[in-house]
Homo-oligomer: A and B are copies of this chain.
Amino acid sequence: MATENTSAPTIGRHRPEIDVPSLTAVLDGEYAGIRELVRTNLVAHAGILDEADALGIDAFRERVREVVVQLAATGQTGMGFPAAFGGGDDIGASIAAFETLAFGDLSVLVKVGVQFGLFGGAILHLGTRHHHKAYLPRLVTGELMGCFAMTESGHGSNVQALGTVARYDPESQEFVLTTPDEQARKDYIGNAARHAVLAVVFAQLEVDGRSEGVHAFVVPLRSDGRVLPGVAIEDDGRKMGLNGVDNGRIRFDGVRVPREALLDRFARVTPEGTYESAIEDPGRRFFTMLGTLVQGRVSVAGAGVSVAKVALTVATKYADRRRQFEASPDTGEQVLLDYGLHQRRLLPLLARTYALHFAQDVVRSQLHEVFSGAENDPQARRRLESRAAGIKALATWHATRVVQECREACGGAGYLAENRFAALKRDSDVFTTFEGDNHVLLQLAAKGLLTDHASEFEDLDQLGMVRYVTGLAVETVIERTSAHKLLERVRDLLPGGDAWDREAGLLDSEYQLAMVRFREEHMLAGLARRIKRGIDRQDAPGAVFSHVQDHVIALARAHVERLITEAFVDKVRALPEGAVKDALGLLCDLFALSAIEADRAWFMEHGRLTVQRSKAISREVNELCRKVRPLAVDLVDAWGIPAAVLRAPDLVGPVG
Chain A residues within 8 Å of B, Cβ to Cβ: 8-9, 11, 53, 151, 153, 155-158, 161, 187-188, 236-241, 324-329, 331, 333-334, 338-341, 344, 400, 404, 407-408, 411-418, 421-422, 425-426, 429-430, 432-434, 437-439, 460-463, 539-543, 545-550, 553, 600-601, 604-607, 611, 614-615, 622, 650
Docked CA distance A277–B120 (Å):
75
Docked CA distance A344–B549 (Å):
10
Cβ of A409 to closest chain B Cβ, rounded Å: 9
- CB < 8 Å: which of B324, B430, B550 contacts A412? B430
Docked CA distance A237–B338 (Å):
31
CB closest chain-B residue, reference A182: B650
Cβ of A413 to closest chain B Cβ, rounded Å: 8
Contacting pair A340 B547 (CB below 8 A)? yes
Contacting pair B539 A8 (CB below 8 A)? yes
Residues of B within 8 Å of A327, CB to CB, are 462-463, 540-543, 545-546
Residues of B within 8 Å of A324, CB to CB, are 155-158
Contacting pair A326 B543 (CB below 8 A)? no
Residues of B within 8 Å of A338, CB to CB, are 546
Contacting pair B240 A11 (CB below 8 A)? no
Contacting pair A549 B339 (CB below 8 A)? yes
- CB < 8 Å: which of B53, B334, B339, B434 contacts A238? B53
Count of identical protomers in the assembly: 2
Docked CA distance A541–B325 (Å):
12
Residue with the highest number of chain B CB atoms closer than 10 Å, among A327, A600, A606: A327
Docked CA distance A8–B533 (Å):
13
CB closest chain-B residue, reference A424: B240
Cβ of A247 to closest chain B Cβ, rounded Å: 8
Contacting pair A328 B540 (CB below 8 A)? yes
Q: Do A239 and B339 contact each other (CB < 8 Å), given the known contacts A325-B461, A542-B11? A: no
- CB < 8 Å: which of B328, B414, B604 contacts A601? B604
15 example contacts (A-B, Cβ-Cβ < 8 A) are as follows A9-B547, A158-B333, A188-B412, A238-B416, A240-B407, A240-B422, A327-B543, A329-B463, A339-B549, A340-B550, A341-B549, A407-B429, A408-B438, A411-B433, A425-B429
Contacting pair B461 A433 (CB below 8 A)? no
